[in-house]
Chain A
Amino acid sequence: GAGVSQTPSNKVTEKGKYVELRCDPISGHTALYWYRQSLGQGPEFLIYFQGTGAADDSGLPNDRFFAVRPEGSVSTLKIQRTERGDSAVYLCASSSGQSNQPQHFGDGTRLSIL
C-alpha cells in the first residue's frame, strides 16, 4: 500500500516568503506528526495531530509556524515570513496512535531559504 507522501520534495524560496508543505498520511492512520531535521542531527518534533486536532504543538519554534489537518487526513505545515534558519528537511510521519506502533515517515520536503 501507499506510504506517507510529502509534496513538494524540494522547495527553494526567498527570505520573507510564505510556504506550505503538504503531507498525505497512510490511509486509516489517525495520528500525524511533523518533524524537522537539520544535517547531521536527529529529527526534531514540531507538532502532532490526533484526528483533526493538534494534540501537542509544543515543538513549534514560534508563531510563524502553523499546521492544520481539517478533515483528519491530509495536513499542511505553513511557515510565514521565512528566515534562512528555517532551512531544513521537514518530515511528516503517521501512525495508528498506539504507543507500541511505529511512526512511518515520508521522504520529507527539503526547504531552502535564500
Chain B
Amino acid sequence: GQNIDQPTEMTATEGAIVQINCTYQTSGFNGLFWYQQHAGEAPTFLSYNVLDGLEEKGRFSSFLSRSKGYSYLLLKELQMKDSASYLCALIYNQGGKLIFGQGTELSVKP
C-alpha cells in the first residue's frame, strides 16, 4: 500500500506559523495534492506538487521531497478560519484516483 501518514491532530496559535507533515512509502506517483476540509463540508483544493521543492500560494506553501518520501504544508499568519482538517493525497495516473492520508485536524486558538 501507499502508507500515507499524517499527524492526527495539531494545535497552533492565531498569527503563528504551522507545518503539517505527510510521509509516504511509495514511488511512481504523478504528484501530491493538499486539500482543506471544514467539518461537514467538501474538501477544497489548496496546492499541488509534482516536482521537488516549494510551491507558494499566499499564506499557504507546500513542499515535496520524493527522495525522502515527505511533503509538508506550511500555513502562515494563522487565522481562526484555518481550523479545519488538512488532507494530503497522491495521484498515480493522469486523471486518476486520489489516495488520501487520514487527515490532520488543526485547531487554531486565540
Interface-centre pick from A4, A43, A44, A50 (highest chain B CB count, 10 A): A43
B50 touches A100 (CB 8 A): yes
A45 touches B97 (CB 8 A): yes
B100 touches A99 (CB 8 A): no
Residues of A contacting B101 in the complex (Cβ-Cβ under 8 angstroms): 42
A105 touches B43 (CB 8 A): yes
Within the complex, what minimum Cβ distance (angstroms) separates B100 from chain A?
Answer: 3
Tell me which of A68-76, A77-85, A90-98 binds B.
A90-98
Is the CB of A86 closer than 8 A to any CB of chain B?
A: no
Is the CB of A25 closer than 8 A to any CB of chain B?
A: no
Give the size of the chain A interface in residues (CB under 8 angstroms).
Answer: 30
Main secondary structure of the interface of A (DSSP, over half): loop
Within 8 Å by CB of B100, from A42, A95, A98, A104, lies A42
Is the CB of B44 closer than 8 A to any CB of chain A?
A: yes
Mask for A2-45, Cβ within 8 A of B = 1, else 0? 01100000000000000000000000000101010000111111
Mask for B74-93, Cβ within 8 A of A = 1, else 0? 00000000000001010101
Main secondary structure of the interface of B (DSSP, over half): loop
Within 8 Å by CB of B42, from A48, A97, A106, lies A106
A44 touches B100 (CB 8 A): yes
Task: Tell whether A107 pairs with B30 under 8 Å between CB atoms, given A31-B95, A98-B95.
Answer: no
Is the CB of B99 closer than 8 A to any CB of chain A?
A: yes
Which residue on chain A has the smallest CB distance to residue B43?
A105
Complex Cα gap A45–B89 (Å): 11
Task: Tell whether A41 pairs with B102 under 8 Å between CB atoms, given A100-B31, A108-B42.
Answer: yes
Task: Show the binding face of B for A, using Cβ within 8 Å.
Answer: 4, 8, 30-31, 33, 35, 40-45, 48, 50, 87, 89, 91, 93-103, 105
The 7 A-B pairs at the shortest CB distance, nearest first, are namely A42-B100, A97-B95, A102-B45, A105-B42, A99-B94, A45-B97, A99-B30
